[in-house]
Amino acid sequence: MNLLAFHRFLKTQITPQAYGISQSTPDLKKAFHKMMAQKFCGLHVKKAQGGLNCSTAKIFFFWELLACSSYDLAFLSVQQEGVLRQLAQQFDSDKTEQTINAILSQQQFIGHAIAHLLKNTSQLHCELRHGDYYINGKLDWLTGYQIFDRFMLGFKYQEAINYCILPFVSNPPTLEISPPLALGTVPSSSTVSLRFNDYRIKGRDVMRATMKGKSVPSSLGVMVHISLSLGVARNGLMIIRSIAKHVDHPFYKKSLALWQKHRALRRQLLSTTLTEIEVSTLRITALRHAHDILLCATLLSKGRVALQGSPVSLLGKWLMQTTVACYRDQHVKTLAEFDF
């Protein structure tokens, strides 16, 4: 993938619309389709299958650039890329190939409903009757309602993990979809909860992983979200640089120190020796890094809604997001308190 071309696409087609994308589900859907049409998708899919087959470094930088331009679009895109990665790396069948082709050719848009499998106790329960599976229970959230037309559901039966792709439409009484939830940081993503009431999945539609390795993303998923945090931080850094760009500005040296810390975190993310505990610790560090940068940018911009093309109007939302994630009930610094 040409990251320079991707950066140009974001700068001209996405960043100018970032505020609208963050507020409107139709605008987010339009931006998502536009990015798919430019073939900026299939990061983990082999080129022979129509994907980009990117290196790990490129994948993480892709997410950082995208989140810098529009966190909401990145948050949505992560879901479908998770489906593509799952299909490309853990399944091997003609049906899988057809599904990958359908996504990459924009015939289908598929969301991800497997994160609940990472929990020790899932709220979904499954029974097998006459060769078909019947699902009962609730999924607390699923992103992309009325954006994705299908979703990949993961469920357990007798300790085995199964997958299937289902229509993302309400089908009472067996599948009830809530109205969009009040998800404050990404309202345009149209996140809903799902309740299954003896929902039938035909046995022939169930997929089982055929390749060795974990069937549910763990540390990799966390590392992607670290990249998103770095993307949000990057935008704050750009705002700070636009203000403190002269050597005589009192915040100039501190802005350079923030950029150095940012690059150090990216290098740490690319380390191949990180354990899952270290990845989890790095996630908190990245969130705090993003929070401090956003707070600095907010204070330096003095609440102005526009500053040299930077989406300062989104600072409040990003700041709330990182605050909720890692600084709840903690002291909020003033500009003078930052020590770099």
pLDDT of residue 231: 92
Out of 148-157, 175-184, 213-222, 270-279, the most confident range is 148-157
Bridge partners, residue 154, by sequence: 163
**Number of neighbours of residue 47 by Cβ within 10 angstroms:** 9
Highest mean pLDDT among 120-134, 191-205, 215-229, 310-324: 191-205
Instruction: Report residue 335's pLDDT band, with 50, 70 and 90 as the boundaries.
Output: low
- Least Cα distance to 197 among 165, 222, 173 occurs for 173
The answer to whether 239 touches 175, Cβ cutoff 8 Å, is no
Measure the CA–CA gap between 210 and 83, rounded to whole angstroms. 16
Q: Is the pLDDT of residue 49 over 60?
A: yes
In the prediction, which pLDDT does 303 show? 55
Q: Where are the alpha helices (DSSP H) in 125-275?
A: 219-243, 252-269
Mean pLDDT value across residues 300-309: 56
Model confidence at 184, pLDDT cuts 50, 70, 90, reads: low
What is the tens place of the pLDDT at every residue in 123-168? 899 999 999 999 999 998 899 999 999 999 988 888 788 899 999 9
Three-state SS for 193? strand
**Interhelix angle 219-243/252-269, nearest 10 degrees:** 160
Dmax over CA atoms of the chain, in Å, equals: 76
Q: Where are the beta strands (DSSP E) in the chain?
A: 110-113, 124-129, 132-142, 150-157, 160-167, 175-177, 192-201
The more confidently predicted of residues 318 and 245 is 245
Q: How confident is the model at residue 213 (pLDDT cuts 50, 70, 90)?
A: very low
Q: Does the pLDDT of residue 312 top 80, yes or no?
A: no
Between 279 and 30, the more confident residue is 30
Dist CA 311 CA 63 (whole Å): 18
Q: Is the pLDDT confidence value at 317 over 80? A: no
The pLDDT score that the predictor gives to residue 339 is: 52
CA distances from 188 to 21, 22, 180 (A): 7, 6, 9
Residue 215 pLDDT class (50, 70, 90 cuts): very low
